[in-house]
Structure 1
C-alpha cells in the first residue's frame, strides 16, 4: 500500500481478510480443541523474535542498520509450522510476528493488521494443503526417519499454496489501496515470489524434520540461524546498492540542473547503452556498470561554465576547447567511486572515434574501451533524436542511418549494429519528463536559427562536439 490515507475499498478489503483469518483460526480456540500449544507458542515466539530486530533501534545499530526487513525473510518458520501443526493452529503462529513487523509508512495499525491477516490465511492454506497430502506423517517422529523423497511433495505443495494465497491477497490490496487496474495489480507478483517461496519451503521442510527428530526443537535453530544470516547479508547488499543508486541520482540531478537543455538525456543514454550491451551478449553483472557509464557520461559538465553549456548557437573555438575538457573533468570526479569499475574509462573516452580523430587522447579502434564505444553510440543516437535549444529532433530511422553511415570512422560498427537490432526488437520510447517537454517547447528555435552542421557527423549539434 503506497498511500498514507487508506481508501474505503481497501479498508473493506482488510476487514474481510481479518474476518477470514479469524474464521480460519477459530477451530483452534474452541473449548476442547486438541492443539499442541507448546509447539504453537515456540514457533510463534521464534517468528516474532526474527521480526524484532527490524523494530529495535538498538539491535539495528549493532547490526549496522541492515537488519532483514519484512516478514518474507522468515517464511521458513511459518512453512515449518504448516507442516507441523493443524491448519487453525498454524495460522496462529503468524500473528505475533506479523504484528511486530516493521512498517515503513503510516498508518501503522491497519498495515500491521493487514499483514497479520494475509500471512495467517497463507499459512492456513499451506497447512491445509500439506495435511491433505500427508505432510505431517511424512516428517517422521523421534527415531523414525522421514519419508524422503515423498516429504518433498507436501512441502512443495504447501509452499506453492502459501505463495498463491499471499500473492493473490497482495494483488488485491494493490488494486484497492493504490487504485491499480486488476491486471496491473497482479502483474509479475507470482513470478517474482515463486522461486523465493520454493527455497523457503525447502528450508521449512528441513526445520520441521529436525523439530520432529530425536534432537527436538533446538536442532531446528540450525536451519533458522543460517537463513537469518543470509537475509542479513542480503539486506547489506541492498543497502549498499541503494547507496550506489543515490550517488548516481545526485550526480545526474546536478548535471540536469546545470544543463537544463539536456534534462533526461543521461537516463536515456543509460537505457540505450544497456540495450546495446544486452544485444552484444554481455554478462548480467556488466549491464549495471554500462548503465552507470551511460547515465554518468556527461557528469564532467559540472566543471564546464554554465554560460557555455546554455549558449544558443555555435560555439567559438575557445568554448569548444573548454567543453571538450568535460570527459576529463568527469573522470576526475568519479575516480574514487570504486563500484563504477569500467564505467570510469567510458566516461573518459566516450568522445574518442574509431579513426583516432576524437578526444581527449585520440585513441582509435580497439584502443578505445568497449564501454566507451557503447556509450558513444548511445549518446549520439539520443542527441540526434532529442529536441534541444540548438537542434531539432531527427526521426529514429534517420538517426540510425546516420550512425550506420559513420560506422567505422566515428563509431564501432558492432555497437551500431547492436543498437539497430535492439531497436528493431524493443523500439524506442524514452520517458519524457514534464520539465523536459516544457523546455523543448519553450526553447525550440525557429528553422532559421538552427545552426548548420559543422561536418557530416551524427550529433546534429554545434554545441556538443561528437
Structure 2
C-alpha cells in the first residue's frame, strides 16, 4: 500500500536551507579572481557524473549483467579525491552534476535530487575544509615529489570522517523533518552503518588524489575506478540476493492470497503497519526488513489449513477452530529453513499470543512473547478491523484504535498500541477492499440498529464475547478463549 501525502513544510524548508548553504559554500569558487582550476573541477565533476548516470539506465545495467550500482554513494571516492585536490568551494562544485543525475526511486524525484545535491556538496565542502586544515593538499606531493606517507593518511581519514558526519547529520535532519521523528530517533544507526564504507571511500579517494598529482597525471587516477567497479559489482550481487528474497516472499504471499480469497492484500498491509510501529519505536533501519517480512508472512501457515475450512461461509465448529489455530505452527515449520527471515520466524509462530497468556499456540504472556510478534499482533488486528471484506464491513479507524486501546494490556502490548496510534496520527491510513468485490450492504431486519452499529465478524479482529467466527478467522480480543489448544508440530515452548 502506498501512502500519498504532501511533503511536510518542515522538510521543504530543510531542503531550501540546504540549497542556500550549498550555494554559499560554492560561491567563492565562481567569484572573479578566484583562480579556480576549472580543468580539474570539470574533469572530476564529469567523472563523478559519468559514474552515477548508468544507475538511471536499466538497459545499460542489463547489458552489463546487472553489475552497475543501484544508487548514489558507490562513487564517493571521486568526491573525496576532489576534497583532497581542491579548495573547499571548488570541491563542492564537483558534487553537483552527479548528484542531480543520480537515480531516485521514490517521489518527489526533483525535490529528492535537489536535497541530495545540496547535502553532498555540503559534505564535500566539509571534507575539503578538514583536509585543508590538516595540510592534506601539501601532503599529496606534486609531480616528482613523493607524497608524505603515512602522514597523508591523517588528512584523508579526517576528510572521510567529516564527509560521513556531515551526510549523517543532514540525512538524519531531513528524516526528522519529513517523518516528524525526534532527532535522536532519526539519527539512530545512521553513523554506524556509514562509517566503515566511508572509511574505505576515503582510502580510495587518497589513492586517486595521489595518482592525480603524480607525473602520470589524471589518466593514471582512472585506474582507481577498477577496485571501485569491483565494489559496485559486489554491491549489485547483494541487491540481486535481496531481490531473490523479495521474490520468495511474494510467491508465498500470492499462494496464501490464492487459497484464502477473503483476505487478499491483508498480508502486505500488516507488513506496512508493522513497519510503522517499528519506526515509531526507533528500531534501526537494518531491522525493518525483518519486521516487514514478519508482518507479510504472518499467515503463511494457512497454506497448511484445508481450503474447505478457510472458505467455509458459516461459523466454525470447535474441531475446525482447532485446525485454524494450528496455522502459526504450520507457518513456522514452512519458513524454518529460510535463513534471511531471522527473527520474523518467531513472529509467525507467536503472533496470536496474548499479553494475559490466553493466546495460542503456547499461551505465552507478557515479555515472554517475542517483540516482533507483539508488533505483528497489533498490526494484524488493526488491519482486520479496518478492512472491507466481502463478508464484513470495515470499522472506522478511530473505532479500531479505540478497540485496540481497550484491549491493551490484556491482549496487546500497550507500547505497540501507543506506537501505532502515534504513527497513524502522523501518516494516516488508507484501508482498501481486499476481496474480489466491494462488500454488499447487510440486510437489516425491521427495528434493527443502523448498519454502522451492527458488529460483523472479521478475521483476527476484536469481536463480541462468544461470537462465532467464519472460516479463516481466529479469536480476537473479547472472544471466548476456552477452546482447547491444538496439539501440533513443535509443541515445545518458545521459537527456533
Match status 1:394 vs 2:358? yes
What residue in structure 1 maps to residue 38 of structure 2?
Answer: 37
1:209 deviates by 1.2
Is contact 1:380–1:459 with CA below 8 Å preserved after alignment?
A: no
What residue in structure 2 maps to residue 445 of structure 1?
Answer: 466
What residue in structure 1 maps to residue 25 of structure 2?
Answer: 24
SS of match in other structure, 2:363: helix
Equivalent residues in 2 for 1:70-89, closer than 5 Å: 70-89=71-90
d(CA) in 2 for partners of 1:65, 1:22:
36
Match status 1:154 vs 2:102? no
1:110 deviates by 2.6
The one-character-per-residue Cα deviations of 1:191-244 (angstroms, maximum 9, x if unpaired) are 221111111111111111111122221221221222123213312321331332
Match status 1:430 vs 2:361? no
Q: Rate the CA distance shift 1:96–1:153 in 2: closer, same or farther, 3 A.
A: same
The one-character-per-residue Cα deviations of 1:278-324 (angstroms, maximum 9, x if unpaired) are xxxxxxxxxx8xx99x95895572673232676723338xx97xx99
d(CA) in 1 for partners of 2:8, 2:354:
42
SS of match in other structure, 2:374: coil
Unaligned runs of 5+ in 1: 272-287, 332-339, 345-370, 387-391, 402-419, 461-466
1:459 deviates by 9.3
The one-character-per-residue Cα deviations of 1:132-177 (angstroms, maximum 9, x if unpaired) are 0011111122222211111111011101111111111112222223
The one-character-per-residue Cα deviations of 1:26-72 (angstroms, maximum 9, x if unpaired) are 11111121222221111111001001101234313313455312221
What residue in structure 1 maps to residue 96 of structure 2?
Answer: 95
d(CA) in 1 for partners of 2:107, 2:48:
23
Equivalent residues in 2 for 1:60-75, closer than 5 Å: 60-65=61-66, 67-75=68-76
Q: Rate the CA distance shift 1:66–1:180 in 2: closer, same or farther, 3 A.
A: farther
d(CA) in 1 for partners of 2:57, 2:186:
32
Q: Rate the CA distance shift 1:205–1:240 in 2: closer, same or farther, 3 A.
A: same
What residue in structure 1 maps to residue 308 of structure 2?
Answer: 306
The one-character-per-residue Cα deviations of 1:65-102 (angstroms, maximum 9, x if unpaired) are 55312221110000000001111111111111111112
SS of match in other structure, 1:185: helix
The one-character-per-residue Cα deviations of 1:226-280 (angstroms, maximum 9, x if unpaired) are 212321331232133133224214413643674579x87xx99xx9xxxxxxxxx
TM-score by length of 2: 0.63
Q: Rate the CA distance shift 1:75–1:39 in 2: closer, same or farther, 3 A.
A: same
Is contact 2:464–2:479 with CA below 8 Å preserved after alignment?
A: no
SS of match in other structure, 1:39: helix
d(CA) in 2 for partners of 1:99, 1:76:
17
Q: Rate the CA distance shift 1:304–1:8 in 2: closer, same or farther, 3 A.
A: same
Is contact 1:21–1:120 with CA below 8 Å preserved after alignment?
A: yes
Unaligned runs of 5+ in 2: 275-289, 386-457, 468-477, 492-496
Is contact 2:252–2:297 with CA below 8 Å preserved after alignment?
A: no
More helix by share: 1
Q: Rate the CA distance shift 1:381–1:204 in 2: closer, same or farther, 3 A.
A: same
What residue in structure 2 maps to residue 55 of structure 1?
Answer: 56
1:378 deviates by 7.5
Q: Rate the CA distance shift 1:248–1:428 in 2: closer, same or farther, 3 A.
A: closer
Q: Rate the CA distance shift 1:393–1:8 in 2: closer, same or farther, 3 A.
A: same
Is contact 1:248–1:296 with CA below 8 Å preserved after alignment?
A: no
Q: Rate the CA distance shift 1:443–1:147 in 2: closer, same or farther, 3 A.
A: farther
Larger mean CA deviation between 143-152 and 42-51 belongs to: 143-152
- Aligned length, in residue pairs: 374
SS of match in other structure, 1:69: coil
1:129 deviates by 0.3
